[in-house]
Chains A and B, each alone.
Chain A
Amino acid sequence: MKIVSIFADKLFSIHYDNESQNELTRLIELWGNADEIHNFLASNVNDIGGIDKIEPLQDELLNNRKTLIEILYKIGTNKIDINLFFKQLNNNEYQLNVLLSKRKGRVNYLRIYALKIDENCFLVTGGAIKFTKLMQDRPHTLKELFKIEKCRTFLMQNDVTDVDSLYEFLNEDEQ
């Protein structure tokens, strides 16, 4: 597991050992792949309300991806505050300073999951197309819960709890 810099000092992504790309790049590629989108919808036909919904949802998901790309581009060019995009994943998390708080960036059906390292600094751990209410409801979203927890444990084990300890860890990793 590696941490990859996406936007210098504010956005990072996990690169899992079994993947060829870091999570954020992988998701942007995956959600732009018509074949993958079509197969995903076809295999989740019960969650989308029937086979007739495949065609409109294909377009909808591509539009969601377009919006996501525009948001990320604006974050990267300092036109949007990154803190506004990543909201609390746990609705019951009301404390302001939760250590490595679990977050989600949402564009309609698309989710980007991340850990908040510090103010203005996030680490992407994965993402999913979500049609059901709870992440526990489907294997592919449940997997994302495991991933975010695994990454949180990984950071804690390496004493990464804020932005300074993250940079210390990354410097050691680069050397």
Chain B
Amino acid sequence: MTNKEKFLKLVSGSDDAFLEMLKWNIDNEPWLKRSQAIAFRILIRLKELNISQKDLAERIGVSPQQVNKWVKGKENLSLETISKLEKALDFELIQVTPKLKEIEMPVLINTNRTNNQFIKNQSHKFQNVCFGDNEKFQDKAESEYNLAS
């Protein structure tokens, strides 16, 4: 048996731990990223308020070790915990995006001459806003994008 074979027999199975750790990080990346973002916000807010992690722990009524865990950005924080932190820091840590308003769009199926004219007018308006009223640009746009006339 070669040295390599002997060694691989000795360490058989023990290498899996590192690969599993990597996989765990890949699989849990979406919430870990948020936890880290919250941790950064807490750390910046602590500096703004000029208070320590220990002070924050006292305000919430938890141990300093618990706060230290939170600011590492590896904890799966509950909404309850986040709310407590927000209250203690007088600062919003997460924001839920408001529902986007539905934007009325013209129906562009079964285009006839009227619709095509509408699109052309709209595109000219857009181009005038962005680039100014340039005849050459209009010609180029019409030929390249084949705007119907």
CB distance from B5 to the nearest CB of A (A): 8
Q: Does residue A70 face the partner (Cβ distance < 8 Å to B)?
A: yes
Q: Contact at A35–B71, with CB atoms within 8 Å?
A: yes
A9 pairs with B4, CB closer than 8 A: yes
Is A55 a contact of B40 with CB atoms below 8 Å?
A: yes
Contact indicator A73/B3 (Cβ below 8 Å)? no
**B131 is an interface residue with CB less than 8 A from chain A:** no
Q: Are B44 and A55 in contact (CB under 8 A)?
A: yes
Chain B proximity of A119: nearest CB distance (Å): 13
Most buried by A among B14, B25, B26: B25
With A35-B73, A72-B22 in contact, is A167–B4 under 8 Å at CB? Answer: yes
Whether the Cβ atoms of B14 and A25 lie closer than 8 Å is no
Residues of A within 8 A of B32 (CB): 32
Q: Does A168 contact B (CB under 8 A)?
A: yes
Residues of B within 8 A of A9 (CB): 4, 8
Number of A-B contacts (CB under 8 A): 88
Knowing A34-B72, A35-B73, the reply to whether A174 touches B18 (Cβ < 8 A) is no
- Docked pose: A36 CA to B40 CA in angstroms: 10
Question: Is B33 an interface position by the 8 A CB rule?
Answer: yes
Please determine whether B15 and A69 come into contact, CB atoms closer than 8 angstroms: no
Residue among A9, A34, A62 with the highest chain B CB neighbour number at 10 A? A34
Q: Is the interface of A mostly helix, strand, loop or mixed?
A: helix
**Known A34-B43, A69-B25, A174-B7; contact A167-B18, beta-carbon cutoff 8 A:** no
Contact, CB under 8 Å: B7 / A76: no
For B24, give the chain A residue with the smallest CB separation.
A69
Q: Is A135 positioned at the interface, with any CB of B under 8 Å from its CB?
A: no
* Residues on the B chain within 8 Å of A55, using CB: 40, 44
Q: Given that A34-B72, A38-B40 are contacting pairs, would A69 and B26 also be in contact in the complex, using a CB cutoff of 8 Å? A: yes
User: Which residues of chain B have a CB within 8 Å of any CB of chain A?
Assistant: 2-4, 6-8, 10-11, 14-15, 18-19, 21-23, 25-26, 29, 32-33, 35-37, 39-40, 43-44, 68, 71-74
Q: List 30 A-B contacts (CB under 8 A).
A: A5-B14, A5-B15, A8-B8, A9-B4, A24-B18, A28-B22, A32-B36, A32-B73, A34-B39, A34-B40, A34-B72, A35-B43, A38-B39, A38-B40, A55-B40, A55-B44, A62-B36, A66-B29, A69-B25, A73-B19, A76-B18, A76-B22, A163-B4, A164-B3, A167-B3, A170-B10, A171-B3, A171-B6, A174-B7, A174-B10
